Amino acid sequence: MVRSVDAVVQHDDERPADLRIAGTFVAFLAGMVALSATSVAVFGVRSQGDPPIHFRWESVFEGLFRYDGGWYAGIAQHGYHLVAGHQSNVAYFPAYPLAMRAIGALTGDTVLAGILVTAVAGCLGAVLAGRWMRRQNLSPQAVTLGVAVMLLYPYAWFLYGVVYSDALFLAAILAASLAVECNRIVLAGLLTVVATADRPTGVSIAIGLTVLVAERRGVLHHDPETGPALVRRFRFPNRIDVSRLQRRDGAILLGFAGLAGYMWYLHAEFGRALLFLDEQRYWGQESGVRTLVKAQYWWELTHFEHRSLVLTTTLQAILLLAGLALVPFVGRRFGWGYATFQLVLVAMPAIGSRDFMGTGRYLMVLFPTHALVGEWLTGRSRPWRLGYLTVSGGLLVVLAASFAHGVYLS
**How is the chain split into domains, by residue range?**
2-405
pLDDT in tens, 297-351: 888 888 887 887 889 989 999 999 999 999 999 999 999 999 999 999 999 988 8
Report the DSSP beta bridge partners of residue 221: 239
From the CB of residue 93, how many other CB atoms can be counted at a distance below 10 Å? 24
Question: d(Cα 119, Cα 30) in Å, to the nearest integer?
Answer: 10
Helix (H, G, I), strand (E, B) or coil at 239: strand
Residue-level pLDDT at 138: 96
Angle at 119 between CA 176 and CA 132, to 5 degrees: 30
Say whether 68 sits in a helix, a strand or coil: helix
Q: Is 245 left (phi over 0), alpha (psi -120 to 50) or beta?
A: beta
* DSSP calls for 366-382: -HHHHHHHHHHHHTS-H
Q: Cα–Cα distance between 96 and 351 in angstroms, integer?
A: 25
For residue 350, the tally of other CB atoms under 10 A from its CB is 17
**pLDDT value, residue 127:** 98
Q: Which residues of the chain have pLDDT under 50?
A: 1-10
Q: How many Å apart are CA 28 and CA 8, to the nearest integer? A: 25
Instruction: Give the pLDDT of residue 30.
Output: 97
Q: What is the pLDDT of residue 3?
A: 47
DSSP state of 246: -
**What distance in Å separates the CA atoms of residue 387 and residue 241, rounded to the nearest whole number?**
46
Which residues does residue 104 pair with via DSSP β-bridges, in sequence order?
none
What is the 3-class SS of 104-148, one letter each residue?
HHHHCCHHHHHHHHHHHHHHHHHHHHHHHHHHCCCCHHHHHHHHH
Contact (Cβ atoms closer than 8 angstroms) between residue 9 and residue 131: yes
CA distance 142 to 14: 16
Q: Tell me, what's the pLDDT at 2?
A: 43
The pLDDT, as a whole number, for residue 386 is: 96
d(CA 25, CA 9): 17
pLDDT at res. 51: 57
CB-based burial, 230-257: b 16+ in 10 Å, e otherwise: eeeebbbbbeeeeeeeeeebebbebbbb
Question: How far is 259 from 254, CA to CA, in rounded Å?
Answer: 10
User: Residue 358 is which amino acid?
Assistant: G
**Amino acid occupying residue 368:** P
CA-CA-CA-CA torsion sign (68, 70, 76, 80): negative
SS3 85: coil
Question: Which segments of 10-67 does DSSP mark as H helices, in order?
Answer: 15-43, 58-61
Closest CA to 242 of 270, 217, 276, 272: 217
CA distances from 163 to 57, 65, 273, 279 (A): 14, 6, 26, 21
Tell me which long-range contacts 261-268 makes (C-beta under 8 A, separation of at least 24): 261/193, 261/197, 262/93, 262/94, 262/197, 265/94, 266/90
Contact (Cβ atoms closer than 8 angstroms) between residue 117 and residue 160: no
Give the number of other CB atoms < 10 A from CB of residue 137: 8
